[in-house]
Structures are given as structure tokens and as C-alpha cells.
Chain A
Amino acid sequence: MEIERNIGNFAYPETHTHDAGVGLTEKTIHFISDIKDDPDWVREFRLKAYKTFMSKPMPTHWASKDLEAIVFENIRYYLSGGTQPKRNWEDVPDDVKRTFERLGIPEQERKFLAGVEAQFDSEAVYSNIKKAVGEQGVIFVGSAEGLKNHPEIFRKWFGKVIPIGDNKFSALNSAVFSGGSFIYVPPGVKVKHPLQAYFRINAENFGQFERTLIICDEGSELTYMEGCTAPKFNTATLHSAVVELVALKGAKLQYITVQNWSSNVFNLVTKRGLAHEDAEVKWIDCNIGSRLTMKYPGVIMKGRRARGEVLSIALAGDGQHQDTGAKMIHAADETTSNIISKSISIGQGRATYRGLVQIPKHLKNCKNNTECDALLINSTSRTDTYPAITVRGTGNSVQHEASVSQVSAEQIFYMQQRGLTEAQAMSLSVNGFVNDLVRQFPMEYSVELKRLIELEMEGSVG
């Protein structure tokens, strides 16, 4: 297989017909609402969120000063060639189609996916679900279509898991959101193959603000996967998504992210799931690339015996900061959460784990397990762990383990002596480090992840 070193690093000229221009004012909100023909309640939601965004200061408890480099006045908040996604790749404009073909999306769809949505800058250009899956009553559409055609489900949960004012960037997303997926799985339906969304940024000075809402009704099961890339520009690009998951009684919902952003992207994403009685929400989160990622997927375990899980891998190369972690809010008896976080810092790369686990006093028989492992490749890299675990009451248990290890020069020499190049040796070490975690991923994604790690290591060796 031919491997390109910067697989996502290409861009076609812009041909957008809808452009909200540079900067953010109330006018921008109306422009977006007009184009999207929003119902009144959505327009009001956006305007309220805009005010919240403007009034909220930049987060200061989030360690990085790099956020100050984001100039909101210089960003373009909406760019699209139309608001209707196509059902057929043939109907997608050539440039856009070529982009996704280079990223291998149509091929993957044929091979192993139950449905695909492909977003190009602000809007989905393609959205399709396999007939058999649609016939089971599964809804898989863009967020705009979801709020218009399925308001009875959409409105009930939209903005409920992550309120507008959760943080400054969730407010920003709520003001200007566009694109993203809406999925509903009816009671008892087990979707065998994953649904996938692919988010592609093509334009410079642009902000992508997709909004995803997934509802798994009682006893249903779903795996959703998202991939992300952008070309490398000299200026900063902003990706600020909001993802809300709802798993009703006994449902199982697995959300997998493999991002491979270029090193100019600020990736500030809010992701949270709500798990009802006996339900399970699992986040598998692989963060590769970007300039700064701040992302802490969370699960609120609202019903008895609900389970929450976050498995995350972060790879911080030169000039990158991966500030990732997990939030586990126990809100019922006998709830269980598990966090396994592995980070790799290379060169000047910096990885931070930030965790929050809460088990209040009145609950019984709740369990949390947290494991954070960091791998350092060469001496200048840095890793930090900030676990905040609050467990009250006597009937609950918590377990926390953390480790830091290093790829030693002797280890690399040993592997080189067996004929592997320095880059191959490093990528094998890194793959070994994440191996026990990757084994829990679906096959297709573990292959993809392994390939991305190889590409990243090739790039980091002289």
C-alpha cells in the first residue's frame, strides 16, 4: 500500500457559494439562520448562545495560554456550496468528491460501513445509509435535516446533555453550528456495522462547528466513527464541535474518533454522553495532530448500573499540545466507569491528562478505574497528569494508576540492529505501548491508527 506522509495535506480552490464573511456578529448568526432556513426556536437558541459566548471569558483553568492566539475576528464561520447533502457520490461536485476519494471514504463505505456522512467545511456534501439499516427505522441524517424533519426527537435532547453555557466553546458552537450528524436508533435495533462521519476542512481561516446528536433508544446498539483531516495552512484553523450522546435504558453506544488534524488546527471539542439505567456509553478517542487539542469526553451515569468508559490515545509531536482526558459523573447507584488514557510525547510535544471523576456521598456501590500511561520519546518532551477524583461515602471504590515510561536509546538500537530504521523502531515501540488498548478497537480502526502512528513517526525522525 502506498503511504503518503501527509495524507490529508492537500486543498482544492474554494468554490463556495455561501460565505458568511470574516468575523462574528449578530449579523453572522442571522446569515447562517437564513441560509439554513432555521425554525424560530433554533434562531433564538443561536442568538442566546452568541450572547453567552460574548459574555464568557476565555477559560483560564485550562492551563494553556496558547488559546490567546485565536483571533475570533479573523475567522470565517460559515462556508458552503449548498445545504442539501447528496445521496449519491456521482452527484457530489468533482473537487469535493476527489477530496474524499483521496481520503478513501467511498471505498471504506463499500467495504464495512452501514452509512456515511461526509462534511466539507460547513455542510455535509454526502449522506447515505444502507437500505437495510434504514428499513430498521434507523435515522442517519445531517443535524439540519434532523431538527427540521424529526423535531419531536431532536428537540427533546438537543442542548440537554451539553447546555449552551457549559463552556465558552460550547456556546460558540451553539451559536454558529452547522453540519454534524443526527442519529436515532429505535428500541431493540442493533446496528451491526458502524456508521461513519468524515469531517474535512478545506478552507483557510475557517472555523468548523459541527453538531452531533445521537440517541440510542431502549436496548439498541450502535457504533459511530468519525475521522477528521485538514490541509496544513500557515494561519490558524478552528475546529469546535459539540457532540451529545443519549443511551436510553439498556442501550449500548460506542463513539470512536480518529482525528489527524494538521498542525495549525485548534481543536476544542465538547463531548458528553448520558447513560440511563443499564446503559453503556463508550468513547474511544484517538488524537493525532493539531496545534492544540482540548477534549475531555464525559459520561453522566444517570441510571442504576449505567456504565461509562473512555479509552484515549494522544500523540503529541513537535509543536503540539494534546490536553485530553475524561469526565465521569456518577449520578446513580451501582454505576461503573473506566478511564484508560495513553499519551505519547515526541520531541517538543506535550501531552496532558486532565481527569474528573465524581461519586457523591449518597450513592452506593459505584466503581471507578483510572489508568494513565505516558510514553516519552527523547528528553525534551513533557507530560503532565491532573487527575481529580472526588469519591465520597463509604460504599464506593476507586482505583487509580499512572505510569511514565521512556523509549530508551538502547531499545531503539536493539531494534535497529534487527534491521529496522529508526522511524520503524520508534513506531513499533509506540504501537507496542498502545497495543493493549488498540486491541479493543474495531479492526478497521486499529489498522488506520497503526498507519497514522507510522506516518507521524516518519515525520518526527530527521
Chain B
Amino acid sequence: MFLSPQMNQLSIHNLRVSIAEQEIIRGLSLDVPKGEIHAIMGPNGSGKSTLAKVLAGHPDYKVTTGEVQMDGENVLELAPDERARKGLFLAFQYPSEIPGVSIANFLRAAVQARLPEGEELEATDYYAKLYEKMDLLEMDRSFTSRSVNEGFSGGEKKRNEILQLAMLDPKYAVLDETDSGLDIDALKVVANGVNSLRSPNLGVLLITHYQRLLDYIIPDHVHVMVQGRIVRSGGKELALELEEKGYESYETVKDEVAEPALA
């Protein structure tokens, strides 16, 4: 497959990642084609969030081997901002606060950064689009003048992530524990937002600990991640099975996987 890379997918092949000499991801392979939603589920500490950060290019993590390609292009050599401008979006589990910078100005800078050199963003078009997306996410207009994530509730932070996703039109979106910290109403709003963005031009990797989110965002595929590897893949029914039986049935698998790392 990697000899003739597929142009319409995010491909992760045999990825190994360490932080401070400790291996977190241990040979993970996964393809997310455009137009599909893939869910990764797994217990705490399985490396799910590490995977999200590595895809986005976080400097703390070291890729020891493997490849990540976006539409056939190797992205591991690219700086985080280059990956972002080429169409990779990460909705953070814990988004940073940017004191003094309003959401409107922040997003405007981000949209501007995607325009060709010398081209100025048209303010009226920008605000029209911004307000349209905010309505979709049931966000109050006054929200845009607040500083990015500063003093936000958990739900507001997650909604803000989805607003940015909607505004930046990525090709691939990684949603890291987007459901954590949300009450059921906020969860529905966020899920509606993501569902409305479903399109043949967007591939989504949904990282979650609980099956709950998948009641509202129906995935095409579900993968189980344990100890830095995908140990099982299946359809959406796999999520229900996990909900019922938990991750315990993979404990033995987990041990097997863990062995070589200890050796």
C-alpha cells in the first residue's frame, strides 16, 4: 500500500513513539479515509491521547519509527503549523487559554494564515461564516469577544474546539476525548456540530474512553487500543460490546503486548 500511497486517506503505518525513553505507541497502523469516521476506544493510559498529539506534531514526543501520511504526503517532517495548514486539525482534550486574545481575532488569524501570501481576509465574509457556524453550535454571539478558553467551562471549551473545526475546513480531524467534561445537553450540541460537518471531504478520528459519545456520532469503524496498539477493529457494534464487557477481555492481550517491551 505504501508503495502506491492512497491520495484520500490519513495513513499511519507501524508507528512507534517514545517520551523520555518510554515507549508509548508500539507499532500502530491505521487508515482513515476521507468521508469516514473512525473511533478509537481504549482504557486510560493506552496511548490514545499520545497518538493525537503525535499526529499534530507535538515536540515532546519522539517518533522512533513508522510513517504518517496525509493524502500520500509524509507529514512527520513537517512543523505543527505546516501540518495544520495542509488540513490536519486536532480538537484538544485540554485546550490552552490565550489571555487577551478574543476568539474572533484568534480564528481570524488562523483563517488568514491559510490564505496565499499577500491576500487579505475579507472581514464581512469571515464574520458571516463565523456567525453561521456559531448558530449551528448554539453559541451566543458575545462568545467571540471572550478571550480564547479563559475562564471557560469544560463544555464551552469543547464547543470552542468544534467551532474552530467548523471554521478551518480541515481534511482530517482528530477529536481527542471531546466528550470528557460534557453534560448530556452539551454533548448533544457538540455531536450535532460534528455530524453536520460529516462530508466526503473530511476524515474523522474520534478518540474516546466511553461509548456514550458514539450514541450521537455514529462511527463507520471502531478500533480498540490497548498498550499502544490497535488490538481489535470492527464496526459500530464493537462499541456496544465494549460498553457491556469493558476492556477486561483485552487484559490478556495487553499482557502479551506488554511482554516484549519489558524484555
Contact = CB atoms under 8 A, between A and B. Distances in A.
A384 to B, nearest CB: 22
Given A419-B168, A420-B81, A436-B100, A414 B109 contact: no
B184 interface: no
A443 interface: no
Nearest to A437: B100
A415 B81 CA distance: 8
A435 interface: yes
Contacts of B113: 418-421, 424
Interface stretch (A73-81, A88-96, A305-313, A405-413): A405-413
A431 B102 CA distance: 11
B101 A418 contact: no
B90 interface: yes
B100 A416 contact: no
Contact of A419 (B84, B92, B97, B100): B84
Contact of A422 (B81, B95, B99): B81
Given A409-B60, A413-B59, 10 more contacts: A415-B98, A416-B57, A418-B107, A419-B81, A420-B110, A420-B113, A422-B81, A425-B81, A431-B101, A433-B100
- Determine the main DSSP class of B at the interface with A: mixed
A101 B164 CA distance: 41
A428 interface: yes
B233 interface: no
A405 B110 CA distance: 24
Interface residues on A, range: 20 to 34
Contacts of A408: 96
A434 interface: yes
A422 B57 CA distance: 13
A416 B80 contact: yes
A418 to B, nearest CB: 4
A411 B84 contact: no
Interface in B30-82: 56-60, 79-81
Contact of A417 (B80, B101, B105, B109): B80
7 contacts: A415-B106, A417-B90, A420-B113, A425-B81, A429-B101, A432-B98, A433-B99
B96 A428 contact: no
Contacts of B109: 418, 420, 424, 428
Contacts of B97: 411
Contacts of B236: none
B188 interface: no
Contact of A410 (B84, B96, B106, B110): B96
B133 interface: no
A431 B100 contact: yes
A166 B98 CA distance: 43
Lowest 3 CB-CB distances: which A-B pairs, in order? A432-B100, A432-B101, A435-B100
A374 to B, nearest CB: 13
Contacts of B95: 414
Contacts of A419: 81, 84-85, 110, 113-114, 168
B147 interface: yes
A414 B96 CA distance: 6
A45 B58 CA distance: 64
A4 to B, nearest CB: 15
A409 B58 CA distance: 10
A418 B164 contact: yes
A421 B81 contact: yes
A411 B96 contact: yes
Contacts of B110: 418-420
B50 to A, nearest CB: 14
Contact of A428 (B80, B90, B101): B101
A71 to B, nearest CB: 42
A419 B99 CA distance: 19
A435 B100 CA distance: 6
Q: Which residue, B56, B59, B99, B114, has most C-beta atoms of chain A within 10 A? A: B99
A436 B98 CA distance: 13
Interface in A348-399: none
